Structure formats: structure tokens, C-alpha cells
Structure 1
Amino acid sequence: MLKRSLVLLFMGIFALSCGVSKDIRDQRNLLSGTWTLDDVRFENNTGMFKAVVFNDADAICFEGSNWFFRDNNSTGRYTIKEGSLCEGGDRFIRWSVIKNPADYTSQLQFKFIDDKRKDISGGLGYRLNITELTEGEMTLKSNVTVNSKPVTVVYEFSKQ
């Protein structure tokens, strides 16, 4: 009887440890929905930058883009408006919120998928630090290197 109770106790602890933390669930719920990327800017370095973001388009093309996150199946998309510098259209993604093991901060990670939810990026993806996430605003940051100097790309969103 004691052996059976111990086995059930360990199975319960194991099941709870494999689940997503309440903090991550709360962030996923806040993230779910439609967002507008209002501003892309660069910190920690001076000068003008022309950057291709997510190996997709110039940073200026992302301003005004719409992002949709569906939390029940971790899929979504972002839509870039057509313009003289920008190839418009939808880009489909699979996303998740994780804890960065180095400093326990939250990160949004995503990779590109096709309209049938199949990976088209060869397993490669992107991670952005979540520095602010409320019901109406989100700020994501990504640290990159330009000419051997650190630059932080800042993405500021508002919820629709």
C-alpha cells in the first residue's frame, strides 16, 4: 500500500513538473490576439541602421504590420503591408513563450511554417526577450551584433 502511494505521489509530482508554469500560461493568454507593431528602433549604438528583420524584410516594412497569436494551437501570422520597399503578405508562424535558462526572463520564440502548419525554416527560428507585456502593450527586444558592437532591436506593439 505504501509503495503504491509513493508511486502515485511521484507520478503526480512528475506530471506537475512537466506542465507549463502559471507565469508562462498567463503570458501566453496576454499574448493571444491581434497586435500592431507600432515601432522598430535600435538601442545601444549610434548611427542609422538598415536592417533585414527575421531574414524577411527591411525593419521599416514591419512598422504597421499586424501580428496574430492563437494560443490554443501556438500558431499565428504576421502581415506586412505592400509598399514600394516591402513585399506585402502573410507570414505564418508557430510560437511559444519560454523561460531563458540563463537569467529566467521570458522570451517569445517563433519559426516560420506554411499554411498547412509545416515547418519551412529547417528548424531555425527567432527568440525575442519580452521586456513588457500587458493587456494593451508589448515590448520585445533582440540583441544583435553590428560591426562587432552590440545593438538592441526594440519592437513596440499595441493590442487591437
Structure 2
Amino acid sequence: MVKQTFFLLMLAGILFSSCSVSKSARTQRNLFSGSWTLDNISYENNTGNFKSTIFGDAEDICFEGSDWFFRDNNSTGRYTISQSSLCQGGDRFFRWSVVEPAQNYSSQLQFKFIDENRKDISGGLGYRLNISSINEQNMTLRSNVSVEGQPVTIVYQFTKK
């Protein structure tokens, strides 16, 4: 009986630890938590002038100065774009997580759009941005895209409010 109990406890421990978030991902989640301002969007690894629609939502210029909020206790957040002649202003809600891909790659911010009631509105599709750096004051995220078959990296620079 003691051996069976010990075995069940070990099995439960293994299952629990395999489903838990790593310490690194937990630390990054805690750093994300709170309000951020997206100060700058720039492009690397290619030359020329770029104009893009970010996250299938709005032009890159609309995102500069946008407010982002990450709530880590329920993995929800929102970003707010200011209304202008070029930009449809308002709140966009999302569910987010920090993903640790296979070794030798950086962690990623993963998110998908939800409505005010936390229901998926993106059909399960979402976005992943590489976490280049994050600390208590600044965050830099990157996404790799292709323009006319050539690689371009979009760089998002945030400051914490």
C-alpha cells in the first residue's frame, strides 16, 4: 500500500511539473504585467521605406503612441489606438502568453484577439513576436515578415508607464 501511494504521489508530481510554466517564462510574464506605451516601430534587414498593416488591424503609424495593458493573473490585455483621420481608434482586446520555443530561440509573446467578454474572435489564429529584451522599464519585440520575397524584421519598442 505504501509503494502504491508513493508511486501515485510521484506520478502526480511529474504530471504537475510537466504542465507548469518554466521559471523564465513566469519571470517574463511578471515583467509584461502592467501598462506600456509603444513608442516606435522600425524595420531592419532590408532597405527602403515601409508602410505596413500591423496585426491585420491598422497601419504602423497608428500604433506609435498606442497604450498596451497586460494583466498576468488571467492572461488578458488590450491595446488602445488613438482616433485620427488615418486610424480607427479604440480598444482591441487579446489573450496572451509567453512561449518558450525549442532551444536556441528567444521566448515569444503570443496573443490572439478576443472580445470584451473574453470570447475568441480570431478563429484561433494569433500572432507571435520574439522577445528581444524586457525589463522593468523597456521592452523590445520583433517579428519576421517577408516583403516581395525578402525578409524584413519589424521592431516594436515599448516603455513602461
TM-score normalized by the length of structure 1: 0.97
Residues 33-66 of structure 1, C-alpha deviations (whole Å, 9 max, x = no match): 0000000000000000110000000001100000
Which ranges of structure 1 fall in alignment gaps of 5 or more residues?
Answer: none
Q: Which amino acid aligns with 1:130?
A: I
Match of 1:50 in 2: 51
* Mapping 1:1-160, distance limit 5 Å: 1-101=2-102, 103-160=104-161
How many residues are matched? 160
Distance in 2, Cα, partners of 1:85 & 1:100: 36
TM-score, normalization by structure 2: 0.96
Shift of 1:3: 3.0
Query: How much has 1:11 moved relative to structure 2?
Result: 1.4
CA distance in 2 between counterparts of 1:38 and 1:121 reads 26
What root-mean-square deviation, in Å, do the aligned CA atoms of Structure 1 and Structure 2 show?
1.0
Q: What amino acid is the match of 1:26? A: T
Distance 2:17 2:104 in 1: 22
Question: How far did 1:84 drift?
Answer: 1.6
CA distance in 1, matches of 2:155, 2:115: 26
Q: CA deviation at 1:104?
A: 4.2
